[in-house]
């Protein structure tokens, strides 16, 4: 309706520009539902959708977006004891809430809980994009061969990425047990609270540099807060930014 009202107000010589804008508006037919888990990663994903939507849909345009999140604590109490079925029920509950407000497709900007999504995906009221599938596709497109996987301890030691990388012919490795524990602690004690310390950034660079020496050619930033800590400009290896990769996939799917 807004587009049609502007047609009346604009001079005749701008009608062609209006027509293109109207066509852009009309293509925004899919409503993206964001099942959020941690605030910083979800916010980055949301901002990416809104900021980069203009490239596909026109100036200031992006798909309709609705977000729902339970407290991170609700997820963590199940994750910490390995109750992935319960994590899945939280995802499905968010999915149903988003369905009722009109969402057409779902994304979850949290890598770790995709272990639960893999369990409940076929019971979902709406289709999901899978963050590891999207990252794997970009890794293949960019012709990477051996990836360092960084994330929470649960992600690095879990099945989310291995089952998506191996069928695409992608090798991967994870840091040592000591590094996995430290990365996990920094993630849950600092990054999810929006604290991005220089000492933490330096430590991540060290872990990535060591993987580079072992033959890795890229690093998966497999926690959606990690791109706020380190980027291609500050990383010894090219980064696969799972947060923005997922957001861009959602924009394409919403067309």
Q: Assess whether 150 and 108 both reside in one domain.
A: no
Q: With bands split at pLDDT 50, 70 and 90, how would you rate the model's confidence at 128?
A: very high
pLDDT tens digits, residue range 2-26?
333 232 333 333 333 333 434 444 4
pLDDT in tens, 158-201: 999 999 999 999 999 999 999 999 999 999 999 999 999 999 99
User: Rounded to 5 degrees, what are φ and ψ at 36?
Assistant: -85, 150
Using one digit for the tens of pLDDT, what is the confidence trace for 93-116?
999 999 999 999 999 999 999 999
Whether 104 and 166 share a structural domain:
no
pLDDT attached to residue 29? 76
Pair 139, 209 in one domain: yes
Of 75, 91, 212, 198, whose CA–CA distance to 150 is shortest? 212
Asked if residue 42 has pLDDT above 70, the reply is yes
Averaged pLDDT for residues 39-66:
96
Higher-confidence residue of 12 and 47: namely 47
Asked whether residue 170 is domain-assigned, the answer is yes
Q: Which domain holds residue 55?
A: 30-130+246-253
Question: SS3 of 105, please?
Answer: strand
- Is 10 contained in some domain? no
Q: Check whether residue 79 and residue 34 sit in a common domain.
A: yes
Q: Identify whether 115 is part of a domain.
A: yes
> What does the DSSP assignment read for 53-93?
THHHH-TT----EEEEE--HHHHHHHHTTT-HHHHHHHHHH
Q: Give the least confident one: 12-16, 90-94, 144-148.
A: 12-16
Residues found in the chain = 255
d(CA 251, CA 64): 10
Please indicate, yes or no, whether residues 148 and 238 belong to a single structural domain of this protein: yes
Distance CA(110)–CA(221), nearest Å, equals 11
161 inside domain: yes
User: Do both 114 and 142 map to the same domain?
Assistant: no
Whether 125 and 145 map to the same domain: the answer is no
Whether 207 and 221 share a structural domain: yes
CA–CA gap between residue 17 and residue 32 (Å, rounded): 27
Q: Which CATH number belongs to the domain containing residue 83 in this structure?
A: 3.40.50.1860
Judge if 52 and 84 occupy the same domain: yes
pLDDT given for residue 12 in this prediction: 32
Asked whether residue 73 falls in the same domain as residue 136, the answer is no
Same domain? 125 vs 146: no
At 6 the pLDDT is 30
Whether 106 is in a domain gets the answer yes
Q: How distant is the alpha carbon of residue 80 from its chain centre? A: 22
224 and 142 in one domain? yes
Locus of tokens 């289709």: 127
CB atoms within 10 A of CB 230: 22
Please give the DSSP secondary-structure letter assigned to residue 128.
B
Tens digit of each residue's pLDDT (9 = 90 or more) over 195-253: 999 999 999 999 999 999 999 999 999 999 999 999 999 999 999 999 999 999 999 99
Position 219 in a domain: yes
Question: Does pLDDT of 1 surpass 90?
Answer: no
Within a domain: 17: no
Whole-number percent of the chain with pLDDT over 90? 89
**244: Cα within 13 Å, side-chain hemisphere:** 13
Is residue 174 a part of any domain in this protein?
A: yes
Q: How many domains does the chain have?
A: 2
Tokens 């994330």 belong to 151
């Amino acid at each position: 309706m807004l587009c049609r009202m502007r047609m009346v107000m604009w001079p005749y010589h701008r009608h062609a520009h209006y027509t293109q804008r109207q066509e852009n508006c009309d293509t925004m037919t899919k409503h993206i539902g964001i099942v959020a888990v941690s605030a910083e990663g979800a916010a980055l994903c949301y901002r990416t959708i809104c900021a980069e939507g203009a490239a596909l849909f026109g100036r200031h345009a992006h798909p309709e977006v609705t977000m729902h999140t339970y407290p991170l604590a609700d997820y963590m109490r199940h994750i910490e004891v390995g109750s992935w079925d319960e994590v899945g029920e939280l995802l499905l509950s968010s999915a149903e809430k988003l369905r009722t407000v009109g969402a057409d497709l779902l994304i979850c900007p949290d890598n770790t809980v995709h272990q639960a999504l893999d369990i409940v995906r076929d019971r979902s009221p709406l289709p999901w994009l899978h963050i590891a599938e999207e990252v794997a596709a970009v890794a293949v497109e960019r012709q990477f061969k051996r990836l360092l996987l960084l994330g929470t301890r649960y992600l690095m030691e879990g099945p989310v990425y291995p089952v998506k990388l191996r069928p695409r012919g992608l090798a991967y490795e994870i840091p040592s047990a000591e590094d996995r524990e430290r990365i996990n602690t920094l993630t849950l004690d600092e990054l999810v609270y929006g604290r991005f310390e220089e000492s933490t950034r330096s430590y991540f660079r060290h872990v990535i540099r060591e993987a580079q020496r072992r033959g890795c050619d890229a690093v998966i930033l497999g926690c959606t807060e990690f791109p706020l800590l380190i980027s291609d400009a500050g990383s010894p290896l090219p980064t696969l930014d799972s947060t923005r990769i997922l957001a861009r996939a959602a924009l394409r799917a919403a067309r």
